[in-house]
Structure 1
């Protein structure tokens, strides 16, 4: 009767874990998107209908510029918008695009090193798009002034050249009727950093009071459920503001509160899972900043400098920088170190285990550069981790076998002092000491594995270096789930199983290797524990199925190495096998 109750309890516990895991996983461990569904990077209106078109006029500025309310316009395709404007081309090894001479906006950026899907002929990822398109997303610099006309979103600039490249900067010019001329000198490096030197020259008869600013304007937010802000992955407004990295402001906060202001800024902008658009003042420059929602489904980040007076016959130059590109770890770190952009590497939300995740990534990335295959690199990383943990695992297994040997003595003590719990604990501790057993030794490897697993999860989910990386056979993207499913006969049936039933070959291998590993472990004496351990491999098979293929590959490799280690332990210490048999 007791055995039946224990079995029922184990089954109910397993079912509760299996059903409850969906809620926990969606909140704390969102699974990656499928590799063939990404169609754009910039957000779109949730209903696919035109929303208020962002005008690029500052909103939420700490200093009060003139406000121009966004107006609704019919949206057009990106190609039509680009063909209709007078533009200066942008061309570098990492990106291509153009600057719109209407408004001097950088509103056309595609990342030539990255494709939207894993298909061979997939188009490159588009980051910025013009204002009158569904996915409007752009950066611009400008001025606010008191009593004079300044260039705005409709101003037409003249350019000194036809193409912006790392070796050919381009200067834009515009003048007002009262004697003030405005100049923006754009330059760009070989990666993703654009520098804008803003100059205002006062050739008029009276002094003028002017402030300069830089902003990023975005229409809509990511609509893909796997690109949403979550507890482990921040997507939305971000930056190093007020002396700290900001991850606690999202699109919903801006919709609700309108604007969030800061008295200092090293950089700020919008982060997606793999991409970043950010504006950066000169190193050490004093600015104020804000994140705002100037219109429905329209979001803006900007920084502004204090108003200053410019006397006749003088000019003032300020420098702003714009990052528009992929969140490559090495590139962000290089900008942080060489350009002095404080904590730009925090655009990647490493989370609590940053101290552990970053070394894991660096080791994995180094292994990949040596081997050339990220899947093999993950397997070698697992081997290195298992090798480092071998002494601990050896003590764990030895302790488990010793615990099994002293079970009869433990049972006797429990029966003898069942009415005196403190005395029973005292005698058990004495027994552990006499037999040289550490009861916590079996838990230590599991505790150590938790940060390793979480760090690898973050690396697979967040780092663009893992995006679209193939392994072998059917695994074309290690950052995405196993694309094969038993339930739809590996794609022969035209439907995608729900995540709970999305079992593929990798998940099955995980369940089998975990089952074999548990069979080699010394068996628990408690019947409930025995039943739980029998069910757990198949439970984890379902739980882990929707996770990134690279994560399952790590776990399967870890299980295989554990089995090999246990077999080696049995051969080296035959008494352990005897203890398990008994």
Structure 2
């Protein structure tokens, strides 16, 4: 009767976990509802508070997506634009206001559909549903030039070998210039100059800004920061998200600004100040899900007949670890940490390097994940052997330990002394079984995080999966992709999720560790609960976990064959507990 009550309790708790997890998944990864496509403008600010966010970001509402396409067609058709064509970036600079508001990344497709070769867009003009823009300029005597000002351009299209200069005669003898250049990757350089030919000195204050909507933001998860980001005094700040900035309205960052901007899981827009300067950095909420990062230099007094130039940089592109690290090596402090590696980055970066090299050899990212998992488990195998050997040794001296505990039950100090003496005589370390497990935790968490963060996994296919960074598309309810509909995330149990549940159940089944009936019931239910919990995660993560479970099964069978006394002792203890429980009914 007691076991029945315990089983009901376990089942209730498991269902609570499952429902609670589904609520959390719906909160962090909501599925957008199908709404009719209209030509109306995007939702009002009050309605935008309920915007859905996916793991990788981008607009999720079909009406907003349609509006974005229509707005882009209108905005980008303007002749007042300077084209950008570099090895990795295409787009344009809007001469009205000198905004960089049109950036697509040539190396990354917007979707995993092979028939769609549209590049991913990270900057869109102001007023569009997916707006993100950057602007550099000067406050002249405390006043900002109007955003409606039309600049003149010279030099043709901006490319790696062809800088472009924008000029504006501001009146009263002041001439403003911006010279834009771009490198072979994602870094733009802006030389901001003011020439004073007036009869009096002027005070100018250079600035840079990045403004964006949070509607396109990737989900801010505990292992992957999304939102405001920057390095200050060579320390990267991941503390603020969009909600924090919205609550505080204005967030002023302390310390010397190394770089500042906004990040998604795969994309980064960050301003880098001129070397040797210390501009103020501020994040602001502009209302209506709009946010801005400001980088404002100290005021400069320009005497008559003089010219002052300030050089800033803007990174607008993919969070490719090699590229970010290269910029860090070139002098931008902590730029590689724009990727939120966390505590275990010393493990994660070598794992990513190995994963990328395996991928180059085998040509398939799914196969590379399997091979990397095998390599990591192989390297950890000696530790597992040591753990099993320690467990076997402890099981062998169990009768002697019980005898000492009984003999010195009234003298704890003497009991501990005799226990230590026994461990020394039998050459057994009671901590040896725990230490290997502790050593493995950072390695396996690092592998998990690499697969979560790596942009290299985006849109990579494997067997029936077209995108390893997205959930498994072949679910039971749509007959593994045969029926043309997508089940709700709660019921979207794919092939890999089923394999995860089965392999984990087999792992628990093979383990003969003695457990009481409640523990047995918990371990019987846990694999199937985890099957539901992990189903919405990226298919690449599930592939890693399934592979790891299969290797665990093989490892357990081998090690138990090498230590039969461990299995026999555990089975004996398990039988004794079962008999005692039966007798107690």
> TM-score with structure 2 length normalisation?
0.83
Deviation per CA, 1:445-496: give whole Å up to 9, x if none.
443343233222322222211211222x212222222222223322445654
Q: Is the 8 A contact 2:232 2:257 kept in 1?
A: yes
State which of 311, 322, 325 in structure 1 corresponds to 2:317.
325
Q: Is the 8 A contact 1:400 1:522 kept in 2?
A: no
**Other-structure match for 2:369:** 378
Shift of 1:400: 3.3
CA, structure 1 residues 421+45, in 2 after alignment: closer, same or farther (shift >3 Å)? farther
SS of the equivalent of 1:144 reads strand
Output the CA distance in 2 between the equivalents of 1:269 and 1:82: 24
Shift of 1:144: 0.5
Matches within 5 A, 1:137-152: 137-146=132-141, 151-152=145-146
Q: How many residues align?
A: 544
Shift of 1:278: 1.1
Matches within 5 A, 1:58-73: none
| 1:5 has 2:2 as partner | yes
Output the CA distance in 1 between the equivalents of 2:384 and 2:198: 79
**Other-structure match for 2:60:** none
**Other-structure match for 2:64:** none
| 1:251 has 2:242 as partner | yes
Shift of 1:223: 5.6
**Other-structure match for 1:60:** none
SS of the equivalent of 1:293 reads strand
Output the CA distance in 1 between the equivalents of 2:517 and 2:418: 24
Shift of 1:410: 5.9
**Other-structure match for 1:274:** 266
Shift of 1:317: 0.7
| 1:488 has 2:470 as partner | no
**Other-structure match for 2:120:** 125
Deviation per CA, 1:81-125: give whole Å up to 9, x if none.
111341110001211100111111111111121112211133211
Output the CA distance in 2 between the equivalents of 1:261 and 1:487: 50
SS of the equivalent of 1:164 reads coil
Deviation per CA, 1:383-422: give whole Å up to 9, x if none.
2222222222112223334445555666667777888888
State which of 491, 506, 510 in structure 1 corresponds to 2:500.
510
Matches within 5 A, 1:124-203: 124-146=119-141, 151-203=145-197
| 1:222 has 2:215 as partner | yes
State which of 13, 16, 21 in structure 2 corresponds to 1:19.
16
Output the CA distance in 2 between the equivalents of 1:455 and 1:22: 28
Output the CA distance in 2 between the equivalents of 1:504 and 1:494: 15
Shift of 1:161: 2.2
SS of the equivalent of 1:369 reads helix
| 1:233 has 2:227 as partner | no
Q: Is the 8 A contact 1:267 1:280 kept in 2?
A: yes
Shift of 1:532: 3.8
Matches within 5 A, 1:238-387: 238-262=229-253, 264-338=256-330, 340-387=331-378
Shift of 1:158: 1.2
CA, structure 1 residues 31+288, in 2 after alignment: closer, same or farther (shift >3 Å)? closer
Q: Is the 8 A contact 2:180 2:188 kept in 1?
A: yes
Q: Which moved more, 1:24-33 or 1:306-315?
A: 24-33
Shift of 1:334: 0.9
In structure 1, runs of 5+ residues without a counterpart are 38-43, 52-73
The structure with higher relative contact order (CA 8 Å, sep 6+) is 1
SS of the equivalent of 1:110 reads strand
Q: Which moved more, 1:151-160 or 1:323-332?
A: 151-160
**Other-structure match for 1:557:** 547
**Other-structure match for 1:104:** 98
Output the CA distance in 1 between the equivalents of 2:308 and 2:184: 28
Output the CA distance in 2 between the equivalents of 1:415 and 1:534: 35
CA, structure 1 residues 145+299, in 2 after alignment: closer, same or farther (shift >3 Å)? same
CA, structure 1 residues 91+506, in 2 after alignment: closer, same or farther (shift >3 Å)? same
> TM-score with structure 1 length normalisation?
0.83
Output the CA distance in 1 between the equivalents of 2:11 and 2:397: 29
| 1:468 has 2:459 as partner | yes
CA, structure 1 residues 33+420, in 2 after alignment: closer, same or farther (shift >3 Å)? farther
CA, structure 1 residues 117+156, in 2 after alignment: closer, same or farther (shift >3 Å)? same
Q: Is the 8 A contact 1:87 1:100 kept in 2?
A: yes
Shift of 1:19: 3.1
Q: Is the 8 A contact 1:107 1:138 kept in 2?
A: yes
Shift of 1:283: 2.0
Q: Is the 8 A contact 1:157 1:172 kept in 2?
A: yes
SS of the equivalent of 2:228 reads strand
Q: Is the 8 A contact 2:262 2:268 kept in 1?
A: yes
CA, structure 1 residues 503+414, in 2 after alignment: closer, same or farther (shift >3 Å)? farther
CA, structure 1 residues 295+581, in 2 after alignment: closer, same or farther (shift >3 Å)? closer
Q: Which moved more, 1:398-407 or 1:253-262?
A: 398-407
Q: Is the 8 A contact 2:268 2:318 kept in 1?
A: yes
SS of the equivalent of 2:469 reads coil
SS of the equivalent of 1:248 reads coil
Output the CA distance in 2 between the equivalents of 1:33 and 1:115: 23
SS of the equivalent of 1:163 reads coil
SS of the equivalent of 2:333 reads coil
